[in-house]
């Protein structure tokens, strides 16, 4: 059971990548498959590394990220 | 019923309050300042709001906001100030918001002067603002009519969800005449379900004046046009006076209508067959009635305190079937009865050919 | 699992129409959160601008009115004077509030109108394609300052927050940015204080929100955030510019 979970709304994400810079653990990267609007959304690489700090969700201008924690 | 001697500007203000107007936003401009000065003490008496805005631009948008909440709201100005309000009026028409605007016209163009004129017919009736919209325009010619039309203005604004302009002039605003405030019986109006008052427990609502979808904007425009057709069918108003079979039909609006009434009376004494046709609604213009009244006349003389504005609408209505002549003064110069009669004699002497 | 962050209900579930990296979405999320937490969504009325965020009425779940460019403060005045017990806010960009609408915002502040105004400052005109704004920085290249803003020709960048702070009617003026989590938390607190300033009858409140505009600055979202921090914040300092404790409507 992971300590924290990051849920990304792929259709809302515009691939601005601000969350990838906000994440202190480098858990987020831009994926290589685009969504229905042509953007390359962000994805979680290693959820085990996520501390559930919520910085990614805080800085996301599209409110496309939800974060949960134990 | 009690008769009170009142100045036009104050009478329209009092009538507005009695018609249920509870908010006024405006900016000082001669010759209508008495409207805002009167409302500055009268509105607080009835729990209403009076606010002097920083410009006519701000005033008309305060009207927009208050109108969006479903309140009865008005503003007043003169030609140059109403020019500043054109953007707001276009927005009010697009958003289908009711409000009343009183224009006590003065000499123009530009800053012009502060004397009475009818310079703003085009601005009011053809729309000084952008887009395919019309204002409902009412033209009183006496202070009593100003009072009566003020009640009607608020009713029409709410009924049709459209801005209404009461087009007066400096003379009407400043003259004092006895008036009675007889509240007319209007049919009941539907509730303002569209008004923005906070969503409460329901879904949110919005009032906007734009649509970025071409089909959507065209649909809105077509809806407005249907409204204007309905206005033309149901709300035109005019007055006639004089010979039932005139040789010359005199056409004028507002205070010119009073002058023309005197011309008809004087002419009758001298054996002339004259009649007056006085449009009261400038939009919707009483086209059918004017066309009827123009049948069989030798000529139409349009008299205005401008240099030919309503003239064009009269020419459009008669479509060349009757010759149309014009006498106008502007800048505060008032046409006189004798001057108009002399012109009429001149017309009758010549062989008027179609 | 515990919720660390979820989209507020008052922010409707639909994708924003803003560019990638634009902070309109963040600003509107914070406003929605504060409205939700204060429990005032049922009696809040927003007044939108003409600009990129003209569609604000699609995103925040409260009643909205949108009128002409620059006139939101006047429209908000009309609404508030008609319905004094509602919470009324306006939301505008640089052109709306600091160019065409300058008279309206100054007088709304001067009257101490009980409304809350939001000013999203991105140093350009966004919607119309990147022309100079009153807030454009010296030397900044825009569509109408292709050689960079020159003070001899175009004057100086306009600090609206400071201008409004000197007016008696202004009760709470703050400038915030949303480029990092701690700024975002501070901004949300300022937004809450602004709404409370209105609700407690203290006077006019304004929050100036610095925002990147990656599209019109010609930068990536990250570059834009960096440029904002390096160039905009030194000229437009963050913080509370005015805090008035007393009720400005009381006469001594």
- Interatomic CA distance for residues B261 and B274, integer angstroms: 10
Boundary residue ending a domain (B202, B234, B266): B234
Q: What is the pTM of this model?
A: 0.95
pLDDT-derived band at C249 (thresholds 50, 70, 90) equals very low
Other Cβ atoms closer than 10 A to B15 = 25
Q: Which residues contact B155 (CB under 8 A, 6 or more apart)?
A: B19, B184, B186, B189
Boundary residue ending a domain (B234, B258, B292): B234
pLDDT-derived band at A66 (thresholds 50, 70, 90) equals very high
Question: Residue C101: which of C47, C175, C144 has the closest Cα?
Answer: C47
- Interatomic CA distance for residues C80 and B338, integer angstroms: 54
ipTM beyond 0.85?
Answer: yes
H-state helical runs in chain C:
24-38, 72-82, 94-95, 102-110, 151-154, 160-165, 181-199, 214-217, 221-227, 233-235
- Interatomic CA distance for residues B122 and C76, integer angstroms: 31
- Interatomic CA distance for residues C28 and B45, integer angstroms: 40
In order of their start, the domains of chain C are 24-243 (3.40.50.970)
Question: Could you tell me if B289 lies within 8 Å of chain C, comparing CB atoms?
Answer: no
Q: What is the pLDDT of residues C149-206, one digit of tens each?
A: 999 999 999 999 999 999 999 999 999 999 999 999 999 999 999 999 999 999 999 9
Looking at residue B354, its pLDDT comes to: 42
Best residue in A11, A12, A16 for a mutation probing chain C (most C CBs within 10 Å): A16
Q: Which domain holds residue B118?
A: 4-234
- Interatomic CA distance for residues C183 and B162, integer angstroms: 46
Q: What is the pLDDT of residues B137-187, one digit of tens each?
A: 999 999 999 999 999 999 999 999 999 999 999 999 999 999 999 999 999
Give the pairing type, strands C63-66 and C2-5. Answer: unpaired
CATH number at residue B269: 3.40.50.920
Q: Is residue B126 domain-shared with residue B263, that is, in the same domain?
A: no
Other Cβ atoms closer than 10 A to A49 = 15
Which residues of A are less than 8 Å from C6 in CB distance? Answer: 66
The values of phi and psi at residue C160, to 5°, are: -70, -40
pLDDT-derived band at C218 (thresholds 50, 70, 90) equals very high
Q: Please give the helix or strand (H or E) that residue B171 lies within, else none.
A: helix B170-174
Rg from Cα positions in chain A: 11
Q: Is residue B246 domain-shared with residue B182, that is, in the same domain?
A: no
Mean pLDDT, residues B123-146 taken together: 96
Q: Is residue B171 domain-shared with residue B313, that is, in the same domain?
A: no
Is residue B130 included in any domain, yes or no?
A: yes
For C4, how many CA atoms within 13 A lie in the half-sphere containing its CB? 20
Q: Are C128 and C140 in contact (CB under 8 A)?
A: no
Q: What is the pLDDT of residues B182-217, one digit of tens each?
A: 999 999 999 999 999 999 999 999 999 999 999 999
Q: Select the residue of A14, A22, A54 nearest C20 (Cβ to Cβ).
A: A14
Looking at residue C217, its pLDDT comes to: 97
Q: Is residue B208 domain-shared with residue B340, that is, in the same domain?
A: no
CATH number at residue B212: 3.40.50.970
Residues 9-68 of A with CB under 8 A from C: 11-12, 14-18, 21-22, 37, 39, 52-55, 57-63, 65-68
Looking at residue C17, its pLDDT comes to: 96
Which residues of B are less than 8 Å from C61 in CB distance? Answer: 199, 204
Q: For domain A4-69, is the CATH number 3.40.50.150?
A: no
Boundary residue ending a domain (B217, B234, B251): B234
Question: Residue C151: which of C159, C140, C142 has the closest Cα?
Answer: C140
- Interatomic CA distance for residues C27 and C177, integer angstroms: 9
Q: Which residues contact B130 (CB under 8 A, 6 or more apart)?
A: B86, B87, B90
Is residue B354 included in any domain, yes or no?
A: no
Angle of helix C102-110 versus helix C72-82 axis, rounded to 10: 40
């Amino acid at each position: 059971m992971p300590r924290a979970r990051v849920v990304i709304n792929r259709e809302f994400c515009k691939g601005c990548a601000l969350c990838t810079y906000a994440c202190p653990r480098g858990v987020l990267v831009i994926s290589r498959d685009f969504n229905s609007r042509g953007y390359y959304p962000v994805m979680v690489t290693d959820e085990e590394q996520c501390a559930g700090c919520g910085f990614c969700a805080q800085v996301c201008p599209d409110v496309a990220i939800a974060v949960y924690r134990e | 019923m009690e008769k009170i001697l009142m100045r036009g500007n104050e009478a329209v203000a009092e009538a507005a309050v009695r018609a249920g107007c509870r908010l006024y936003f405006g900016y000082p401009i001669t010759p209508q300042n008495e409207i805002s000065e009167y409302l500055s003490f009268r509105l607080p008496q009835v729990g209403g709001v009076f606010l002097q805005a920083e410009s006519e631009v701000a005033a008309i948008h305060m009207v927009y906001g208050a109108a969006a909440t479903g309140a009865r709201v008005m503003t007043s100005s003169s030609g140059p100030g109403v020019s500043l309000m054109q953007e707001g009026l276009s927005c009010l028409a697009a958003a289908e918001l009711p409000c009343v605007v009183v224009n006590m016209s003065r000499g123009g163009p530009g800053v012009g002067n502060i004397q009475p004129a009818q310079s703003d017919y085009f601005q009011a009736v053809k729309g000084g603002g952008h887009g395919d919209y019309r204002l409902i325009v009412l033209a009183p010619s006496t202070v009593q009519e100003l009072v009566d039309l003020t009640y009607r203005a608020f009713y029409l604004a709410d009924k049709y969800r459209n801005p209404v302009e009461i087009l007066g002039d400096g003379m009407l605003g400043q003259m004092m005449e006895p008036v009675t405030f007889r509240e007319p019986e209007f049919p009941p109006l539907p509730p303002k379900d569209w008004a923005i008052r906070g969503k409460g427990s329901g879904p949110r609502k919005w009032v906007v004046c734009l649509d970025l979808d071409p089909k959507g904007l065209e649909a809105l425009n077509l809806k407005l046009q249907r409204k204007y057709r309905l206005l033309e069918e149901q709300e035109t108003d005019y007055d006639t006076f004089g010979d039932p079979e005139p040789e010359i039909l005199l056409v004028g609006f507002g205070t010119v209508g009073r002058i023309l009434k005197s011309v008809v009376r004087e002419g009758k004494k001298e054996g002339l067959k004259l009649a007056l046709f006085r449009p009261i609604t400038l939009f919707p213009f009483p086209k059918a009635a004017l066309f009827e009244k123009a049948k069989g006349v030798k000529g139409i003389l349009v008299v205005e305190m401008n240099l030919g504005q309503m003239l064009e609408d009269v020419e459009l209505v008669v479509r060349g079937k009757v010759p149309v002549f014009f006498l106008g003064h502007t800048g505060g110069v008032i046409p006189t009865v004798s001057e108009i009669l002399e012109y009429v004699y001149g017309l009758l002497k010549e062989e008027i050919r179609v | 699992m515990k919720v660390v962050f979820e989209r507020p209900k008052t922010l409707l579930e639909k994708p924003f129409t803003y560019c990638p990296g634009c902070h309109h979405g963040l600003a509107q999320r914070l406003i929605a959160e504060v409205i939700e937490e204060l429990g005032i969504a049922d009696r809040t009325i927003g007044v939108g601008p003409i600009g990129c965020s003209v569609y604000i009425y699609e995103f925040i779940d409260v009643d909205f009115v949108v009128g002409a460019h620059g006139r939101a403060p006047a429209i908000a005045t009309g609404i508030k004077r008609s319905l004094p017990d509602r919470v009324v806010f306006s939301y505008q960009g640089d052109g709306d509030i600091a160019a065409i609408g300058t008279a309206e915002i100054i007088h709304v502040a001067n009257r101490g109108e009980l409304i809350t105004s939001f000013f999203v400052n991105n140093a350009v005109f966004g919607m119309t394609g990147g022309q100079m704004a009153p807030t454009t920085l010296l030397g900044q290249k825009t569509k109408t300052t292709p050689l960079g803003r020159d003070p001899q020709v175009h004057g100086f960048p306009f600090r609206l927050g400071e201008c409004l702070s000197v007016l008696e009617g202004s009760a709470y003026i703050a400038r915030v940015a949303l480029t990092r989590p701690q700024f975002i938390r501070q901004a949300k607190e300022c937004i809450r204080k602004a709404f409370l300033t209105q609700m407690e009858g203290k006077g006019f409140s304004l929050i100036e929100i610095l925002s990147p505009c990656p599209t019109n600055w010609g930068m990536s979202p990250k570059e834009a955030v960096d440029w904002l921090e390096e160039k905009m914040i030194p000229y437009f300092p963050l913080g509370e510019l005015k805090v008035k404790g007393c009720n400005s409507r009381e006469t001594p």
